[in-house]
Amino acid sequence: MAVRCLITAGPTREYFDPVRFISNPSSGRMGYALAAAARDAGWTVDLVSGPVSLPEPAGVMLYPVVTAEEMMRQADALFGPCDVLLMCAAVSDWRPALRQPSKLKKDGRGLTVELEPVPDILAALAARRRAGQVLVGFAAETEDVEANARLKLDRKGVDLVAANSVAGPDGAFGSDTNALILLGRDGYRLGIGPASKAEVARCLVAEVATLLAAR
Ligand code: CTP
């Protein structure tokens, strides 16, 4: 069966002037490992990526974006025909309400930047999903990893949530290795790793393939 897979990866950046932004430490490695694993499984892969310092993976279509708004538009355009969505990006949850057109000058005083929420990309895509699609969200948690992640199954309207800890120096951000707890409907639970992100990605793609075949 031909499978088309949409993957988001990396952080987003939200600028408040031309040279300053808020973001997070996501390296994009987990999303890029998923893209390679999905490609190796024979799937057609669209990879929507925030700014990362990783080589372009061979054999996938790469769509670079910067902000959550751009990621939203690009993912929205690619979502319709996809069979699998792996929403691995670490989307910035807030963005500056104002983006100054020129560099802000210091004046020796503090700076207050008002932030507004960005749209929830995954929830918006899930709201218009079609039958047969498999949607996987990721949950980046610093505490009560499993309980918090399980709440996201319903909140985001997805089939699986891959929960990982981003707390402390052993957290997933920037690391070569990862450990995931994959959570699904009816109490489904599978621990993957700790292992290299490449190995974790292979296991996750295999689980999604099983779910897809059962549909
Ligand atoms: N996500 C998204 N759009 C956002 C924020 C998150 O699509 N604006 C996606 C992430 O890519 C991930 C899932 O939602 O697949 C969960 O992200 P996470 O950061 O763990 O949770 P949040 O929804 O941001 O909730 P909270 O920060 O309160 O844990």
Note if 148 is an active site residue. Answer: no
Evaluate: CB of 166 within 6 angstroms of ligand 1. Answer: no
Mean pLDDT of 80-96: 97
Average of per-residue pLDDT values in the chain: 94
Judge whether residue 169 has pLDDT over 90. Answer: no
**Residue 56 placed within a domain:** yes
State residue 170's pLDDT score. Answer: 58
**Residue 152 placed within a domain:** yes
**Residue 103 placed within a domain:** no
Q: How confident is the model at residue 171 (pLDDT cuts 50, 70, 90)?
A: low
State residue 175's pLDDT score. Answer: 77
**Residue 169 placed within a domain:** yes
Q: Is the pTM of this model over 0.75?
A: yes
Judge whether residue 173 has pLDDT over 80. Answer: no
**Residue 18 placed within a domain:** yes
Q: How confident is the model at residue 166 (pLDDT cuts 50, 70, 90)?
A: confident
Distance 154 CA to ligand 1 centre (A): 13
**Residue 27 placed within a domain:** yes
Considering its fold, how many domains does the chain have in total?
1
The CATH number given to whatever domain includes residue 184 is 3.40.50.10300
SS (H, E, C) the chain: CCCEEEEEECECCEEEECCEEECCCCCCHHHHHHHHHHHHCCCEEEEEECCCCCCCCCCCEEEECCCHHHHHHHHHHHHCCCCEEEECCECCCEEECCCCCCCCCCCCCCCCCCEEECCCHHHHHHHCCCCCCEEEEEEEECCCHHHHHHHHHHHHCCCEEEEEECCCCCCCCCCCEEEEEEEEHHHCEEEEEEEEHHHHHHHHHHHHHHHHHCC
Evaluate: CB of 36 within 6 angstroms of ligand 1. Answer: no
Domain with 73, as residue range(s), is 4-97+116-213
Q: How confident is the model at residue 172 (pLDDT cuts 50, 70, 90)?
A: low
**Residue 182 placed within a domain:** yes
